Structure 1
Amino acid sequence: MRLSIVAVGQRVPDWARTAWEDYAKRFPPELKVELKAVKTEPRGSKAVQTLQAAERERIEAALARGVHRVALDEHGTRLSTQALAARLRDWQLSGDDVALIIGGPDGLDPALLQSAHERIRLSDMTLPHALVRVLLIEQLYRAWSVNAGHPYHRE
């Protein structure tokens, strides 16, 4: 199974890139996590719908055909660590590749949200995009560690 994180925004601070790389290398060979960063549409005076549509096209171009789409959305399902571990186990058992999608500054296009197989949320708070990437990969690693019986996660 391939686990992709597709994120709008190509520039992140060094600390975020370092943290991402640290967690990404911890995953076992059978569960590699990859980042696909897509360009943010220049803001200017464009309508939000126009910005979201342009970013949707870039996101869809980065998604593999038939991939299981999981959108990160403020209105998505709240998951505990244990629930995310169960979702990860289900995704692995399905054998399908999974893409977790992080939108741009204005969020994800409604059509993309509609096409998602699932919607999850990381927090009730608004988070900077660089931090979302790090938080997401850390939580995925934590979920994997729960499933593997690894002592990284403690109850």
Structure 2
Amino acid sequence: MKVRLLSIGKDRSGLFEPAVQEYARRLGHYTRFELVELSEASGKKLKAGEAKSAEADAILARRKPQDWLVSLDERGQLLDSVELSRYVGKAQTGAKDLLFVIGGDEGLDDRVRAASDRVLSLSKMTLPHRMARMVLVEQLYRAFTLLKGEPYHK
């Protein structure tokens, strides 16, 4: 099983990246994990909505036939940590790879949500995209420790 996190843009603040890298390293004990950062389309002098469309093209081009596409969106379903671990376990037993997607500043294009096998929300509150990436990677690490019946290492 492979887990990929596709994210639009980079953490220019430097606040969250160390934690993302630490949890990515820990995830490597359980699965093949890859963090893919795609360039933001908004800086390319596009009209309103065109950036989201261009980012959607880039996201959907990265999807492979064996992927379960999971989009993060404020309108998505809220899962607790155990429910997320069950979903990860279901993908694992079904020989599916997981492709998690976090959109850019304008969010995700409707085409990405429509193509998704699941749309998740991390919180009812609005989170900065870089923080959402950190929270997701930590929750994926937690999901794998739950699946293995291991204590969570802080």
Q: TM-score, normalised by structure 2?
A: 0.90
| Alignment-mate amino acid for residue 42 of structure 2 | P
Distance 2:12 2:96 in 1: 29
| Structure 1 unaligned spans of 5+ | none
- What is the Cα-based RMSD across aligned positions, in Å? 1.7
Q: Which residue of 2 aligns with 1:8?
A: 8
Q: Is the CA contact (8 Å cut-off) linking 2:6 and 2:102 kept in structure 1?
A: yes
Question: How far did residue 120 of structure 1 move?
Answer: 0.8
Q: Which residue of 1 aligns with 2:148?
A: 148
Counting aligned pairs with the same residue, the percent is: 32
Distance 2:12 2:58 in 1: 18
Q: Is the CA contact (8 Å cut-off) linking 2:7 and 2:38 kept in structure 1?
A: yes
Q: Which residue of 2 aligns with 1:61?
A: 61
**Superposition pairs of residues 27-106 of structure 1, within 5 angstroms:** 27-42=27-42, 46-48=47-49, 50-106=50-106
Moved over 6 A (4+): none
Deviations 1:90-132 (A, max 9, x none): 0111111110010111111101110111111101111111111
Per the alignment, do residues 89 and 12 of structure 1 end up closer, same or farther by CA in structure 2, a change over 3 Å counting? farther
Question: How far did residue 53 of structure 1 move?
Answer: 0.5
* Alignment coverage as a number of residue pairs: 152
Deviations 1:11-33 (A, max 9, x none): 44323221111111112445122
Distance 1:42 1:90 in 2: 36
Q: Is the CA contact (8 Å cut-off) linking 2:70 and 2:99 kept in structure 1?
A: yes
Give the match's secondary structure for 1:15. coil
Per the alignment, do residues 45 and 31 of structure 1 end up closer, same or farther by CA in structure 2, a change over 3 Å counting? closer
Deviations 1:77-100 (A, max 9, x none): 110111011111101111111100
